[in-house]
């Protein structure tokens, strides 16, 4: 099992963190001196190094150069060789990348404080496109095909005392498109929980606008049925002194690919991005995130943790952090930790850190994949604890670090139970 | 009254150079209320014996038996052995990140007793046991052994001994790494566990120091995977004076016989 360490790699203290038996630790922290000379520090070579379980390395170019467009036609048909699709089994996308997404979109049901407004709007609404522009073909396909969008607005200055729950319920396997816009107006404060459930084949664009001084938490739960296929682009725009906490929890579904992006548009912004995933036999759970430090004095902290069990359980984590030339005073850290509970599971973990200015507070990344350690199990079992209970204790501890970030007690409890259920499946 | 019986135990491990026999025919019988000290030089196989009793998968029993009141211990899984009443205080307790001491202790107690302890008395018992072993109360909130010093880890092993109340305790160098004060505190813990009269102890040690606080009924000298000499507490005193040199490995039985006559 892993040692949980949230200690940041810091300039001036680039020491290797202590790590636990059975873990491979990869990480580096870049000092201003050498980072200025390393233009694309994490191209090809690093990609290879950071793939656990045998990923192939393809040199990638700077994230800044990635094609973005509202037009599907601008994206070439996918072959699977593209850098951002190379881990995804396209066959299992069930047409999200190639078909017209004409199926009925999953239904959206919102509950929460009265002052939060919920509107269903047509494609032409001016808020659509306010935070996002598709970064890949599947997202562009949804953009091209959605018929109406849900817009959720937390009014200026309003501090919600209860969370806003958005249940996104799928009932069909016809490929569909979904669009949701969340606007946290100036100095508002709220927690929005997006609960994806049921059965669906859906490509989704979620736009998140965090206006100046707002403090928004968005939790995206993927608790789909076993046959669901879900691609979700979640793009956030962060205003001056605004704060976004983004939490991705992927548990259910055949293939789930979440691609969150956070873009700073003014100084003083802060994002925390957390992720928790539990891949079972045959499941493909992918998360690719992007933090765009485009302005000065912003802060980002990323931690994704995943457990994998069973044959062909596959998790992918790619973390692109770009610190542009303008982004002086940036403070950034990203880490991914995986725990392989059985043989036959595979975790690919690729942190990409690009730094274009030397004048930063800190930038670091880490990636580690470990196996549940026999010595841990032996210790617990030597105290009379049966093996299945011992495993549960360890995994619960590993994932709890993420769950406790959510700070919604009822939701934390529910997720803890969901993790227990995932673990119960191991015991055969 | 229980009996732990080890008969002609042979144990090997797989190393990169191939299979290596470490225990070469060990026989030992321990009864409730007795304290047996096993003393021997580094690498003689003391920890191997302890870990084999506990069921560590690394150690392969090639022949011989271990029984607890006639039940075949070798047929039991690691957790079954613990629930049957065997407790191993480890030489190097493992850190288990992510699992709090409180949660761990309660889970283990529930497993061993077959029912959850009554919360109120349990919390009180844990607190009292920790205080007696001079373990800070905030250790309960920390993860199992994580960041504990060597001495703290040993105290926490004895804490478990006192809380779980096993039939037989195997203490693998519980004394090493302890300063004199800690040694006293830990020894008192072991003696308390003994007082109830329901426990037998196999005390593995390299030095005689701990035997000033925990009085053995029998002393077994262990060299190169075998018991080469057995006696009462007086044997420990002799080892204190003479060391293990006279059992020089490889010198064979003749030396031992000669030493016994001396
Ligand atoms: N993993 C291993 N690989 C190779 N040899 C091993 C391994 N584990 C134990 N041994 C060997 O087995 C023998 C017995 O080791 P063991 O740990 O049981 O000794 P010990 O009497 O407990 O020693 P100490 O007093 O140092 O604790 C030693 O020669 C040791 O080197
Ligand atoms: Mg030893």
**What pTM does this model have?**
0.73
At which residue do the structure tokens 């050498």 appear? A34
Question: Would you say residue A125 has pLDDT above 80?
Answer: yes
What 3-state DSSP class applies to B177?
Answer: coil
Query: For position A4, what pLDDT does the model report?
Result: 32
- B54/A382 Cβ within 8 A: yes
Query: For position B7, what pLDDT does the model report?
Result: 98
**For ligand 1, is residue B207 a contact (CB within 6 Å)?**
no
Evaluate whether residue A385 is within a structural domain. no
How many A-B residue pairs are in contact by the CB < 8 A criterion?
Answer: 88
For chain A, what percentages of helix, strand and coil (3-state, to nearest 5) are there?
15, 45, 40
**Do residues B153 and B101 touch, judged by C-beta distance below 8 A?**
no
Per-residue model confidence as pLDDT tens digits over B159-206: 999 999 999 999 999 998 899 999 999 999 999 999 988 999 999 998
Residues A55 and A98 in one domain: no
Residues A17 and A37 in one domain: no
Residues A67 and A137 in one domain: no
- A379/B96 Cβ within 8 A: yes
A383 vs B: CB within 8 A: yes
Question: Would you say residue A47 has pLDDT above 60?
Answer: no
Residues A50 and A123 in one domain: no
Task: Round to whole Å and give the CA distance between B257 and B262.
Answer: 9
Question: Would you say residue B235 has pLDDT above 70?
Answer: yes
Residues A121 and A53 in one domain: no
Option in A376, A384, A401 nearest B96 (CB): A376
Residue where a domain terminates, one of A371, A399, A416? A371
Task: Round to whole Å and give the CA distance between A137 and A80.
Answer: 12
Residues A82 and A92 in one domain: no
Nearest chain A CA: its distance from B93 CA (Å): 8
Query: For position A187, what pLDDT does the model report?
Result: 98
Question: Would you say residue A171 has pLDDT above 80?
Answer: yes
* Position A420 confidence tier, pLDDT thresholds 50, 70, 90: confident
**For ligand 1, is residue B174 a contact (CB within 6 Å)?**
no
Query: For position A426, what pLDDT does the model report?
Result: 55
Evaluate whether residue A396 is within a structural domain. no
| Residue A105 structural domain | 6-24+88-371
Nearest chain B CA: its distance from A381 CA (Å): 5
Q: Which residues of A touch B104 (CB under 8 A)?
A: 380, 383, 393
Strand partners, B6: B28, B66
Residues A221 and A116 in one domain: yes
Domains: count for chain B: 1
Query: For position B147, what pLDDT does the model report?
Result: 87
Instruction: Compute the distance from residue B42 Cα to the ligand 1 centre, in Å.
Output: 8
Question: Would you say residue A325 has pLDDT above 80?
Answer: yes
- Closest residue in A to B107 (Cα–Cα): A385
**For ligand 1, is residue B205 a contact (CB within 6 Å)?**
no
Residue where a domain terminates, one of A371, A401, A417? A371
- B104/A375 Cβ within 8 A: no
* Percent of chain B at pLDDT exceeding 70: 94
B82 vs A: CB within 8 A: yes
Residues A139 and A17 in one domain: yes
For A146-160, what is the mean pLDDT? Answer: 97
Query: For position B262, what pLDDT does the model report?
Result: 42
Phi, psi of A380 (to 5 degrees): -70, -40
- Closest residue in A to B55 (Cα–Cα): A382
Task: Round to whole Å and give the CA distance between A63 and A383.
Answer: 50
Q: Whole-number mean pLDDT of chain B?
A: 91
Per-residue model confidence as pLDDT tens digits over B110-167: 999 999 999 999 999 999 999 999 999 999 989 899 889 999 999 999 999 999 999 9
For residue A90, what are the contacts with CB-CB under 8 A and spacing of at least 6? A78, A80, A97
Q: Between B211 and A22, whose confidence is greater?
A: B211
Residue B234's alpha-carbon distances to A79, A231, A410, B26, in angstroms, are: 81, 76, 64, 22
| Orientation of helix B101-113 relative to helix B150-164, angle to 10° | 30
For A182-200, what is the mean pLDDT? Answer: 97
Candidates B155, B140, B157, B145; CA nearest to B185 is B155
For A89-96, what is the mean pLDDT? Answer: 97
* Cβ neighbourhood burial of A116 (10 Å; 0-12, 13-18, 19+): buried
Task: Round to whole Å and give the CA distance between A422 and B17.
Answer: 41
Evaluate whether residue A1 is within a structural domain. no
Q: What is the position in ligand 1's atom list of the atom closest to the CA of B49?
A: 18
Evaluate whether residue A131 is within a structural domain. yes
Q: What ipTM score was computed for the predicted complex, to two decimals?
A: 0.93
Strand partners, A369: A24, A338
Residues A43 and A92 in one domain: no
Nearest chain B CA: its distance from A372 CA (Å): 11
For residue B7, what are the contacts with CB-CB under 8 A and spacing of at least 6? B27, B64, B65, B66, B67
Option in B57, B90, B112 nearest A374 (CB): B57
At which residue do the structure tokens 């989704």 appear? A204
B164 vs A: CB within 8 A: yes
**For ligand 1, is residue B92 a contact (CB within 6 Å)?**
no
Residues A66 and A94 in one domain: no
Per-residue model confidence as pLDDT tens digits over A342-388: 889 999 999 999 999 999 999 999 998 888 778 889 999 999 999 98
The number of helix segments (H) and strand segments (E) in chain B equals 8, 12
- A379/B90 Cβ within 8 A: yes
CATH number at residue B118: 3.40.50.300
Residues A72 and A112 in one domain: no
Query: For position B246, what pLDDT does the model report?
Result: 80
Domains: count for chain A: 2
Evaluate whether residue A397 is within a structural domain. no
Residues A52 and A121 in one domain: no
Per-residue model confidence as pLDDT tens digits over A253-305: 999 999 999 999 999 999 999 999 999 999 999 999 999 999 999 999 999 99
Question: Which candidate in A2, A341, A385 is best for mutational testing of the B interface (most B CBs within 10 A)?
Answer: A385
Residues 317-376 of A with CB under 8 A from B: 374-376
| Residue B12 structural domain | 3-261
Least confident among A269-273, A408-412, B63-67? A408-412
Question: Would you say residue A106 has pLDDT above 70?
Answer: yes
């Amino acid at each position: 099992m892993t040692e949980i360490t949230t200690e940041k790699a810091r300039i001036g203290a680039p020491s290797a963190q202590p790590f636990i038996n059975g873990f491979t630790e990869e990480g580096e922290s870049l000092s201003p001196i050498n980072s200025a000379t390393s233009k694309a520090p994490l191209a090809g070579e690093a990609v290879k190094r950071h793939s656990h379980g045998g990923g192939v390395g393809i040199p990638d170019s700077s994230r800044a150069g990635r094609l973005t467009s509202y037009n599907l036609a601008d994206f070439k048909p996918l072959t699977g060789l593209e850098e951002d699709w190379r881990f995804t089994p396209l066959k299992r996308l069930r047409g999200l990348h190639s078909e017209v997404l004409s199926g009925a979109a999953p239904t959206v049901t919102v509950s929460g404080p009265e002052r939060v407004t919920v509107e269903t709007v047509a494609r032409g609404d001016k808020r659509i496109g306010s935070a996002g522009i598709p970064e890949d073909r599947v997202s562009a396909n949804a953009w091209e095909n959605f018929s109406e969008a849900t817009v959720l607005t937390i009014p200026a200055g309003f501090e919600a005392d209860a969370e806003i729950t958005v249940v996104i319920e799928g009932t069909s396997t016809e490929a569909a498109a979904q669009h949701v816009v969340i606007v946290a107006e100036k100095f508002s404060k709220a927690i929005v929980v997006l609960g994806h459930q049921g059965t669906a084949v859906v490509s989704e664009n979620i736009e998140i606008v965090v206006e100046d001084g707002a403090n928004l938490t968005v939790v995206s739960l993927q608790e789909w049925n076993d046959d669901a296929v879900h691609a979700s682009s979640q793009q956030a725009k962060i205003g001056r002194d605004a704060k976004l906490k983004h939490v991705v929890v992927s548990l259910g579904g055949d293939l789930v690919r979440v691609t969150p992006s956070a873009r700073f548009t003014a100084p003083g912004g802060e994002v925390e991005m957390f992720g928790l995933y539990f891949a079972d036999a045959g499941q493909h759970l992918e998360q690719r995130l992007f933090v765009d430090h485009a302005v000065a004095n912003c802060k980002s902290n990323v931690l994704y943790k995943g457990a994998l069990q069973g044959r062909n359980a596959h998790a992918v984590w790619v973390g692109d952090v770009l610190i542009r030339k303008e982004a002086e005073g940036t403070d950034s850290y990203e880490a991914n930790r995986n725990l392989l509970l059985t043989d036959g599971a595979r975790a690919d973990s690729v942190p990409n850190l690009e730094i274009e200015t030397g004048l930063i507070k800190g930038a670091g990344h880490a990636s580690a994949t470990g196996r549940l350690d026999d010595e841990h199990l032996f210790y617990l079992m030597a105290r009379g604890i049966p093996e299945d209970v011992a495993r549960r204790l360890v995994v619960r501890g590993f994932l709890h670090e993420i769950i406790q970030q959510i700070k919604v007690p009822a939701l934390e409890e529910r997720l803890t139970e969901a993790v227990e259920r995932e673990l119960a499946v191991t015991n055969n | 009254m229980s009996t732990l019986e080890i008969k002609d135990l042979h144990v090997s491990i797989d190393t990169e150079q191939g299979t290596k026999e470490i225990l070469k025919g060990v026989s030992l019988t321990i009864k409730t209320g007795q304290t047996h000290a096993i003393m021997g030089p580094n690498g003689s196989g003391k920890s191997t014996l302890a870990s084999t009793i506990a069921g560590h998968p690394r150690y392969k029993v090639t022949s011989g038996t271990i029984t607890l009141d006639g039940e075949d211990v070798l047929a039991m899984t690691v957790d079954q052995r613990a629930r049957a009443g065997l407790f191993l205080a480890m030489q190097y307790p493992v850190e288990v990140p992510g699992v709090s001491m409180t949660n761990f202790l309660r889970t283990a107690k529930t497993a061993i007793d077959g029912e959850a302890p009554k919360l109120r008395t349990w919390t009180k018992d844990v607190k009292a046991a920790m205080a007696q072993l001079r373990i800070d109360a905030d250790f309960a909130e920390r993860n199992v052994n994580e960041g504990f010093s060597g001495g703290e880890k040993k105290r926490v092993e004895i804490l478990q001994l006192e809380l779980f109340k096993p039939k037989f305790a195997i203490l693998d160098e519980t004394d090493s790494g302890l300063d004199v004060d800690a040694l006293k505190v830990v020894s008192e813990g072991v003696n308390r566990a003994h007082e109830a009269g329901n426990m037998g102890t196999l005390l593995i040690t390299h030095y005689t120091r701990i035997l000033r606080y925990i009085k053995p009924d029998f002393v077994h000298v262990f060299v190169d995977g075998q018991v080469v000499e057995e006696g009462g507490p007086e044997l420990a005193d002799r080892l204190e004076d003479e060391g293990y040199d006279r059992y020089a490995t490889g010198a064979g039985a003749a030396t031992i016989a000669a030493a016994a006559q001396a």
